[in-house]
Chains A and B, each alone.
Chain A
Amino acid sequence: MNTKSTIRRILVVEDNLDEARLILRCLRESCAGRAEAFLVRDGLEALEYVFDTNHAAREAREMPTLILLDLKLPRISGLEVLERLKAHPVTRRIPVVVMSSSLAIDDVNRSLDAGANSYVCKPVEFESLREFVTCAVEYWSNWNVTA
């Protein structure tokens, strides 16, 4: 299956609405017309979206092709979401890019250990952020999600 022609579904997990707006704008600019983004505001919502086959927001078989995951989330942390995704055979192949403000080496290591495909430290400068997001989406869009 040629993924390049497929409309990509990107799940953005971000509790901070301002942050979410920045990321969504980045996505809109970098993948205009080629991807649709869906925002959830905490870890539980993220897991429901992925694992609930009757989720109102998506078709049963339309799993996200990329997940941009914040670590610090209400209810269920980003790290736990990551672990749950990577523990499940259906979801473990979905690329997860952790996007965090944290510079802590522990967060980086834990995230990578849990199976994160990328770790992006969100820069303060918007230009930089846009650059990072564009890079990440471009890169992981080439990942054969159905393989």
Chain B
Amino acid sequence: MKALDAGANLISKVFPFHLSCDSNCTIVSFGQGVKAMRPSIASGTGFFEHFTISRPQYTSSGYQCLLDLQDRVCWLSINQHEGTPHLRGQWVQTRPGEITFLGWPFITSAEELVSLTLDSSYFPCHHPLGDMLSMLETAKLSAREAESYALELREQKTNLERANFLLNLRYQLAHLLSTGDGGDEAGALHLLCRELNTTLAALLLVDETQSGLALVGLALHPDCAEAGDPADWVSFVTAFVKASSMQVGGQTGRLHVDRIPGGIFPSPPGRVDRDPAPFVISVPVSETGGRFLGWLLLVGDDPQCLEASTLDFLKCEGIALAEHRGKRFALQTEALQRVRMDAILDSSLDAIVTMASDGRIAGWNGSAERTFGYLKEEAVGRTVEEILVPASQRSAHRRGMTRYRECGEGPMIGSLVETTALRKDGSTIPVEMAIIPFRINHEEYFTATLRDLTDRRLVQERIEVLARFPEDDPSPVLRIRGDGALLYANPAARVWGSLIPPGDGGQVDPVWAEKVRGALASGKPLTEEWHVGGHYYLVRIIPVSQDYVNLYATCIEDLKNRESQINALNQELEQRVEERTAAQQETIRELESFTYSVSHDLRAPLRAVNGFSQFLLEDYGDVLPEGARELIADIKSNAAKMGRLIADLLELSRLGQTAIQRVEVDPNALVEQVLGAQRVDLSIRNAVIEVHKMPPFEADPRLMLQVYENLIGNALKYARPDEPPKVEIGALAVAGGNLYYVRDQGIGFDMRFHDKIFDVFHRLHTNDAIEGTGVGLAIVRRILEKHQGAIWAISSPEAGATFYFHLGALDPALTGTCP
């Protein structure tokens, strides 16, 4: 376990709050931060031994569950987006002043938890809306990215840990070997010693002559102060090599572990009386292709410090080192490691930027690409100052770097700070940043973990805004308990003065308390208009729990004023309407008066003309010549005709003024009345009238009588001179109603003049024998229009005419047709 932890050291440094699980929810790896949070955590143990997640509940947006970390609560929701659920969430603190954790755990399905990446961050404490903290954090990755990432993780998860450890080991060894040529073997061995947690690490290589082993380097664990003099260890190693008859030949070189006290080996310095006895692991070192190079000796207290997998790795694969003293090997291993590292780094939700001590960017993960807009190829090699630090902070950045180089500490190092960072498009974003220094190959590096805070800032601002509500509300907001105790009153409520009891818990006005009780009892919001403190308020009492209500009041004084204004305007309007109506009635009255005058005054002279002509005939007829008598007769008939004309015109104008009175009318009866009363002259040349049974209609009977009178009269009037008039009267059932008709076999008319026959004074026929004023059809049309009906005719010269009419709305397409 120690070895595994040691091997994962680098990862856990980069990901202090990293937690990976396999699909069985068994923990695969975790960072130091998680370990600090949950001391009992260990690889291979179940995720749910340390954490509890509430039963996921399916909601409209996906699954929701609660991750309970005893005193902290992680709220997770699994959103179903494009069919691939991904999980997003947030660590939320429940105790003031404690660090909490925000995280975006990833999950490939509701059941399979793959990886949980957590990062420490501070969350605002003592928040006034403690119970409102369950806010949403925007998911940082799209579902697709999460899916491919999860897939990649699944592929890697089984061997990632082991591979990383072995890689590290290989790297250390490669480094050791590559620098063995006059390099810093001791430093490299020191590192190995520390990483593997052994007391001693020594490298023995086949010498130039291929006949013996030479001790190339030796390092002791820095913590093993009691390990003794290195010189003693040199002699121990020499003695051990001799005693164990270590082979120079490649094929026989196998990894083996030896117990020191049990055999022929010399005792290591200062370790004689140790229990358990120290051991020596001999690791054969060979080149790719099998050429044996030498041995790596590891001396420790407990052989179990090396995990079985490590031993297997060392046994089976050896340490396939090619060109062990060349730079190429080092580069290969570095490249291999970088691929692995990049996979881990790119999987992070946070931007991870690795910077060399000269300020140049060495690492730039996928999230950094997304966050800052630079591709890795663009970023690597440029300085952090150049592309990430806003211009205003560059001098401070430079000072900090200088200071760190001088005294090894800086304000930014090792702690979580909020700052701003530059993006490629020139904009700046708030970020949360942690910088952790580490060393590779004696080079100092800095890993900066940056998180875009834009979304969180927005949420924080929103919370702050929400927190100010209802304090900022310009209208009174109260919370009143069922017993009338005032629980809360916002500053705006002070306008109500003494009506608001001072301090919490005071009793409000009993009338209010009664309303509150009513609202609580009904459980429904109550909206009323109150007159409080001389002003009108619209008050809404909303039961927000079983015990108390929220009371929102809005001053509607303006509305009230406007209401009274509106009332006044309405009254004025009504008065105006009355005035107008009176004026209109006056006009109508004047019109009636005019009509009266016309009827009276125009007819009187005509009567005189007619009368005096008659006097002339009667008194002087015997002395007048025949021609004169005929002329007098013409004068008389013309005067009589004009009298009828005036009568018809008066009738037409009266139609416009009289309101129609609709009753059910039987058209058969009307026709009978027209014919029976001999209002038309049926005797004319033996007229034949055929009447079909007709359905009733709703109309003014007096006016409809006139319609039939005019139509039947016309039908008789315009008969062909050579044969007796024949008239057919009936009705047709059509869509939406009935169509009534009056058909004759008369002289007809040209349809080109159809519309003219309904015009006033328009007569198509110049035949003087046919009497008529030219007003009859105009009256008929006016009457039908007053009944929302219509009339039209279908005819052709010498082929008779049919007049169709209907009352009330009918399909407009029917109008003008011959059904």
Contact sample, A vs B, 29 pairs, CB 8 Å cutoff? A16-B604, A18-B604, A18-B607, A19-B604, A19-B608, A21-B611, A22-B607, A71-B600, A72-B600, A100-B600, A101-B600, A101-B604, A103-B650, A104-B596, A106-B592, A107-B596, A122-B604, A123-B607, A124-B610, A124-B642, A124-B643, A125-B610, A125-B636, A125-B640, A126-B607, A126-B610, A126-B614, A126-B615, A129-B611
Interface residues of A in 24-40 (CB under 8 A from B): 25
A91 within 8 A of B: no
- The 6 A-B residue pairs with the shortest CB-CB distance in the complex, in nearest-first order: A124-B643, A18-B608, A126-B614, A126-B611, A22-B611, A101-B600
Residues of chain B with a CB closer than 8 A to A122's CB = 603-604, 607
A19 CA to B636 CA in the complex, in Å?
A: 16
A127 contacts the other chain (CB 8 A): yes
Query: Does more than half of chain B's interface fall in helix, strand or loop, or is it mixed?
Result: helix
Contact B608 A22 (CB under 8 A): yes
Which chain A residues in 100-121 approach chain B with CB under 8 Å? 100-104, 106-107
Question: In the assembly, what is the distance between CA of A106 and CA of B604, in Å?
Answer: 19
Proximity string of chain B (575-604) to chain A, C-beta cutoff 8 Å, 1 when within and 0 when not:
000000000000000001001100111011
Identify the B interface with A (CB < 8 A).
Answer: 592, 595-596, 599-601, 603-608, 610-615, 636, 639-640, 642-644, 647, 650, 654
Number of interface residues of A (CB under 8 A): 22
In the bound complex, CA of A101 to CA of B647 (Å): 10
The chain A residue with its CB closest to the CB of B658 is: A105
Complex-state Cα separation, A123 to B643, whole angstroms: 8
Instruction: Tell me which residues across on chain A come within 8 A of B610, comparing CB atoms.
Output: 124-126
B607 touches A129 (CB 8 A): yes
Most B CB contacts (10 A, CB to CB) among A16, A102, A107, A124 go to: A124
Point out the residue from B605, B613, B636, B647 that lies within 8 Å of A18, measured CB to CB: B605
Chain A contacts for B603, CB-based, 8 A: 101, 122, 124
Interfacial chain A residues near B650, Cβ < 8 Å: 103
Task: Report the minimal beta-carbon distance from B614 to chain A, rounded to whole angstroms.
Answer: 4
State the Cβ distance, A130 to closest chain B Cβ, in Å: 8
Please give, as numbers and ranges, the residues of chain A lying within 8 Å of B643 by CB-CB distance: 123-125
Quote the shortest CB–CB distance from B641 to chain A (angstroms).
9
B656 → chain A, closest Cβ, in Å?
14
Contacts of B608 in A (CB 8 A): 16, 18-19, 22
Query: In the bound complex, how far is the Cα of B614 from the Cα of A32, in angstroms?
Result: 19
Q: A124-B606, A127-B614 are in contact. List 11 more A-B contacts (CB 8 A).
A: A19-B607, A101-B601, A103-B650, A106-B592, A122-B607, A124-B643, A125-B610, A125-B640, A125-B643, A126-B607, A126-B611
In this complex, which of A18, A25, A103, A123 has the most chain B Cβ atoms within 10 angstroms of its Cβ?
A: A103
Q: Looking at the complex, which one of A16, A103, A129 makes contact with B647 (CB distance below 8 Å)?
A: A103
A19 to B520, CA, bound (A): 90
**Could you say which residues of chain B place their CB within 8 Å of the CB of A106?**
592
Smallest beta-carbon distance A106→chain B, Å:
8
Of all chain B residues, which has the CB nearest A14? B604
Distance between B56 CB and nearest chain A CB, rounded to angstroms? 88
**In the complex, what distance in Å separates the CA atom of A104 from the CA atom of B596?**
7
